[in-house]
Amino acid sequence: MGKTYRVYTMQKWKWILIGLVGVLVIAAAGFIVWAGTPLAATAEAGAALQPDEQVQVIEQNGWMVFQPAAGEPSTGFIFYPGGRVDARAYAPLLRDIAAQGYLAVIVPMPLNLALFGVNAAADVQAAFPAIQTWAVGGHSLGGAMAARYAQANPVAGLVFWASYPDIDLSQTPLAVVSIYGTRDGVANAESLENSRALLPTGTRWVAVEGGNHSGFGSYGLQPGDNEATISADDQRAQVVAATVELLASLQAP
């Protein structure tokens, strides 16, 4: 009786274990499918990946690299895309930043989530030794992960697009700008406000009046977001201008 009971118990736990493993496998597969189907970039974003007389566009190590066609930039900007957004969606903005004299690099993330590529900027910095000054930044989740990188690496500037840090950067020497849309329906407004205490006192806050979360890229309206009350071109121009102002402040006079 005792032996039979033990055998029954072992078989029972065996099937329970198999069931749990099966649930985990299904959950992992579902997560991979979910993360691997990002919000698609628009045709406009695809067009921004074509080089012209102002900006050279190069694919290097999987990155999208934008370089001014004239001159040798000394300041570079590494960009982390938002969670589950096609990295190409940010090409129009990064291209415009490069056109103003900066190296700009979009770093696609594993499973389209910057959480799995926090230190991706290190390889970019190593690949461009001529760049003297670096800034990192990102949209939404990308901005939070860029902040983690900036905390412990040789970076002078940090740019948040509709984003905020989850670590304390208040005592760092970073030059920081936080750019946000007043119609954002995705980024938590309370968390954005609370992040002021986590950032250096000199942080510049730029409100894009009428701008939303989706307007920081070119991928259509994100689920849960509000409609913007300004044009996409207007929002992007304001975001680029505020970002370039931060990059210009990093350069030696």
The alpha carbons of the chain give a radius of gyration, in whole angstroms, of 22
Residue 206 token pair: 């730029």
From CA 64, how far away is CA 253, in angstroms rounded?
29
Average pLDDT rounded to a whole number, residues 7-29:
56
Q: What is the pLDDT of residues 193-207, one digit of tens each?
A: 999 999 999 999 999
Fill in the amino acid letter for 213.
Answer: H
Residue 8 has pLDDT above 60, yes or no: no
Q: What is the pLDDT of residues 44-102, one digit of tens each?
A: 999 999 999 999 999 999 999 999 999 899 999 999 999 999 999 999 999 999 999 99
From CA 237, how far away is CA 61, in angstroms rounded?
28
Average pLDDT rounded to a whole number, residues 150-158:
97
Give 208's strand partners: 181
Residue 11 token pair: 């078989």
135: left (phi over 0), alpha (psi -120 to 50) or beta: beta
| Entry pTM | 0.88
From CA 191, how far away is CA 164, in angstroms rounded?
8
Instruction: Give the mean pLDDT of the chain.
Output: 90
pLDDT of residue 3: 60
Residue 253 has pLDDT above 50, yes or no: no
Residue 15 has pLDDT above 80, yes or no: no
C-alpha dist (Å) from residue 57 to 91, 123, 170 = 10, 18, 36
pLDDT of residue 28: 46
Pairing of strands 175-181, 157-161: parallel
